[in-house]
Amino acid sequence: MGRLSGKVAIITGAAQGMGASHAKAFVAEGAKVILTDINVEAIQELASSLGDSAIAVKQDVSKQADWDEVIAKGEAAFGLVNVLVNNAGVLGKIATTLDFSEEDFNWVCAINQTGVFLGMKAVIPSMIKSGGGAIVNISSIAGLVAIYGAPNAAYVASKFAVRGMTKQIAVEYGKQNIRCNSIHPGYIRTPMMAAATDEEGGEALSMIPLGRLAECSEVSNLAIFLASDESSFITGMEHVIDGGMTAL
């Protein structure tokens, strides 16, 4: 019996990086997983490698209709959904506030903020029918503190919003046995991080007490804990995984 046996999970942004890591780890722990991403070829390849425990659904998380399709296909394949990992996210261009357009701001927030809201709204009815569930929202340390050199104000705003929505859902739906927690990664070795800095984290390493980037698997271990019954009395909380960066 795996730690997630009996769980049916949606993992967004599963084409690469942390999302792909979460998908592999969840299946290894016994979950049935619905993988979503706009990169449908990548998630189809990943789902095929995971066998009968995974399906792939193309999705733009900022679109309500796409969420309706993900829920319908997930329930048809595996039954009621009782875990959601809102992992999909974008950085947006690296720019100061004065150089960041309204259009750019709205695009980042549509993915990082509205996408999380729509995902929770879409999955809660399935969770209520199944007797409860766990929502894991991937935020950032940029959802806890201001970060000098952060990509842009929209990224920070959206990640703070994820933190707030997490607490609200935890309070609103706790009586229905739905838990909601946020994960706040620091610098993780992902393609997104490499694009923003370099493969080793660039100057960020000097700000991390442990002196290294985290591996995706380390974040996946935390996501598994929060999705599992091991964390049955934990909800509405921020869970930081940053090598001590925000302790400074």
Encoding tokens for residue 17?
Answer: 């990086």
| Residue 215 burial class via C-beta count within 10 angstroms: exposed 0-12, middle 13-18, buried 19 and up | middle
Q: 230 in a domain, yes or no?
A: yes
* Amino acid at position 157, single letter: A
Q: 124 in a domain, yes or no?
A: yes
**Domains: count for the chain:** 1
| Cβ-Cβ contacts under 8 Å for 130 (sequence gap 6 or more) | 79, 80, 81, 82
Instruction: Quick: pLDDT tens for 13-45.
Output: 999 999 999 999 999 999 999 999 999 999 999
Q: 3 in a domain, yes or no?
A: no
| Cβ-Cβ contacts under 8 Å for 36 (sequence gap 6 or more) | 10, 11, 12, 13, 14, 43, 56, 57, 58, 59, 61, 70, 88
* Catalytic residue, candidates 148, 155, 173, 187: 155
Q: 2 in a domain, yes or no?
A: no
Q: 224 in a domain, yes or no?
A: yes
Q: Which residue has the tokens 């706790």?
A: 174
Q: Determine whether 148 is an active site residue.
A: no
Domain range for 148: 8-247
Q: How far is CA 175 from CA 9, 58, 178, 220, 235, in A?
A: 21, 32, 7, 27, 12
Instruction: Quick: pLDDT tens for 88-124.
Output: 999 999 999 999 999 999 999 999 999 999 999 999 9
Q: 1 in a domain, yes or no?
A: no
CATH number of the domain that residue 204 is part of:
3.40.50.720
If you average pLDDT over residues 52-73, what whole number do you get? 98
| Residue 42 burial class via C-beta count within 10 angstroms: exposed 0-12, middle 13-18, buried 19 and up | middle
Bridge partners of 239, per DSSP, are 183
What pLDDT score was predicted for residue 190? Answer: 83
Q: Where are the alpha helices (DSSP H) in 29-130?
A: 40-49, 64-78, 102-109, 115-130
Instruction: Quick: pLDDT tens for 206-247.
Output: 889 999 999 999 999 999 999 999 999 999 999 999 999 999
Bridge partners of 240, per DSSP, are 184
Q: 14 in a domain, yes or no?
A: yes
Residue-averaged pLDDT of the chain: 95
Q: 202 in a domain, yes or no?
A: yes
